[in-house]
């Protein structure tokens, strides 16, 4: 069974000690989807994705980057990281769906998947906030990790949304143990 890393020997919450770890290049990306009612989606397209509050996508990009940079202030046991790259890409898809991808990179001792997830989430929440005057029937989700690399384990979700985890250490041995004899 996997061990929870944020619990001390007495089962109290604690921050993971990364002091002895080696810094490596780490990347992660996460996605969020915002589902708009058809009338709201049409109005956003008609206005060039602007509301009375301003440019929706541009504001969501700024909010996503700001949130990713402040993840350690939002999620209690995240380490403060000097992000080297953070991008938020937003695509207006058919059927009233807005797709957000936040990608983050750093050279550090701990991963950046939480930063990518927080960035994508904040961008989605910003779109909701800027469009809620038109409707409260806006849905956010799923929010999920797409990729992670540079630590003990890499993770990649395939095009169909299924996960594909690759371990950097012991992957072949673990796979061999899982095969029936």
Q: Classify residue 88 as exposed, middle or buried by CB count within 10 Å of its CB (0-12, 13-18, 19+).
A: buried
β-pairing verdict for 97-108 and 85-93: antiparallel
Paired tokens of 2? 């996997």
Paired tokens of 116? 């990518």
Residues with Cβ within 8 Å of residue 80, at least 6 apart in sequence: 72
What residue has token string 């938020």?
A: 88
Annotated catalytic residue 129:
yes
Q: Of 68, 115, 57, 130, which is closest to residue 91 (Cα–Cα)?
A: 57
CA–CA distance, 50 with 71 (Å, rounded to integer): 27
Paired tokens of 60? 């969501």
Catalytic residue of the set 17, 129, 137, 154:
129
Name the residues annotated as catalytic. Answer: 129
């Amino acid at each position: 069974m996997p061990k929870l890393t944020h619990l001390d020997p007495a089962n109290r919450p604690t921050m993971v000690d990364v002091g002895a770890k080696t810094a490596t290049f780490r990347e992660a990306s996460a996605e969020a989807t915002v589902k708009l009612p058809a009338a709201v989606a049409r109005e956003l397209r008609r206005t060039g994705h602007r509301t009375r509050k301003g440019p929706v996508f541009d504001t969501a990009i700024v909010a996503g980057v700001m949130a990713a940079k402040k993840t350690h202030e939002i999620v209690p046991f995240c380490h403060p990281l000097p992000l080297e790259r953070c991008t938020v890409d937003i695509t207006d898809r058919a059927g009233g769906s807005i797709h957000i991808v936040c990608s983050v990179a750093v050279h550090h001792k701990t991963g950046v998947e939480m930063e990518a997830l927080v960035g994508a989430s904040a961008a989605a929440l910003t779109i909701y906030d800027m469009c809620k005057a038109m409707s409260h029937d806006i849905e956010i989700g799923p929010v999920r990790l797409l990729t992670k690399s540079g630590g003990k384990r890499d993770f990649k979700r395939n095009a169909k949304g299924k996960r594909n985890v690759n371990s950097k250490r012991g992957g072949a041995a673990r796979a061999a143990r899982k095969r029936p004899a």
